[in-house]
Structure 1
Amino acid sequence: MDATTLPAKLAETREDFLALGVKDRLQLLLEFSNELPPLPERYAEHPDLLERVEECQSPVFMFVEVDDDGLVHLYATAPAESPTTRGFASILAQGLDGLTVQQVLDVPADYPQSLGLAEAVSPLRVRGMTGMLARTKRQLRERIAA
């Protein structure tokens, strides 16, 4: 994966994970789970606006917005009992926030695999994060087309 095409926040997150041993990577993922931004009230009151991420075993829901300046905002919710899934959602919500639509669409689909978590969490969990990224991009394409 070419670091030059990766947005700074995602590149920094990847470097942080790869600098750690396997056990510490899992700990960092758990720290991210505690930093998942809360849903804005408009979504908290309207869960029907959020899309279920079917690739995740846990009930993860997300919604992508493009603001008037053309910047992307990803909102996600995942249960506290699913810290690895929450951690993945948090990495994406924080890493994609404020990027342009094209920057998000340019994030390599294999970004989740590049974090070095395959040894720390099940392949199913990594697939869940890959699913979150794919759904984010699909929602963005739908918004642009609309």
Structure 2
Amino acid sequence: MPEMPSKLAEIVDEFAAAPRDVVLEMLLEYADIVPPLPAELNRAELEQVPECQTAFFLRAEVEPDRTVRTIFDCPPEAPTTRAFAGILAEGLARASAEEVLAVPDDLYQRMGLAQAISPLRVRGGNAILARLKRQVREQIS
């Protein structure tokens, strides 16, 4: 059975081991990792995640070699939500479709974020992951 990508597992472990008072600071560092929306795409070609408090859009593309390309669009004034995207962008880079599907649904709870941010924000992060995984499943089935 595939496991989540090792890079994402490292990120999860870093957060889980961090003192609670630095978790939010660590989280916000990932907000700057989100690459800009590729010029060939616009928001209309991405799926909106309405559970997020801010306008958040995503797209997963399964390449012919079964690696997954993640695309996120989220405004800079939503750093927590952008941080979720940054964690996924970094942790899932060059991951296979099977590895993406192996990411645990309670990823953000495992990271210890449920104690650092509001339940509404955690719910938004969970929705981002769920939609990403659904898009991957649809493309490989």
- State the TM bucket, normalised to the shorter chain: over 0.9
How far apart in 1 are the matches of 2:4 and 2:62? Answer: 19
> Which residues of 2 match residues 72-91 of structure 1 at below 5 A?
72-91=68-87
Q: TM-score, normalised by structure 1?
A: 0.90
Correspondence for 2:23? 25
Task: Give the share of equivalent positions with the same residue, in percent.
Answer: 46
Equivalent pairs, count: 140
How far apart in 2 are the matches of 1:114 and 1:18? Answer: 7
- Pairing partner for 1:126 from 108, 122, 127: 122
- Pairing partner for 1:93 from 75, 85, 89: 89
Q: Kindly provide the amino acid, as one letter, of the partner of residue 47 in structure 1.
A: R
Instruction: Specify every segment of 5 or more residues in structure 2 that has no aligned partner in the other structure, as ranges.
Output: none
Q: Kindly provide the amino acid, as one letter, of the partner of residue 43 in structure 2.
A: P
How far apart in 1 are the matches of 2:124 and 2:66? Answer: 27
Structure 1 ranges of 4+ moved more than 2 A: none
The two structures, once aligned, show a CA RMSD in angstroms of: 1.4
Q: SS at the partner of 2:113?
A: coil
Q: TM-score, normalised by structure 2?
A: 0.93
Instruction: Specify every segment of 5 or more residues in structure 1 that has no aligned partner in the other structure, as ranges.
Output: none
Higher relative contact order (CA 8 A, sep 6+): 2
Deviation per CA, 1:68-102, whole angstroms, max 9, x where unpaired? 21110111011111101000111112211211111
- Pairing partner for 2:102 from 99, 106, 127: 106
Q: Kindly provide the amino acid, as one letter, of the partner of residue 125 in structure 2.
A: M
> Residues 108 and 126 of structure 2 are in contact (CA less than 8 Å); yes or no, is this contact kept in structure 1?
yes
Correspondence for 1:56? 52
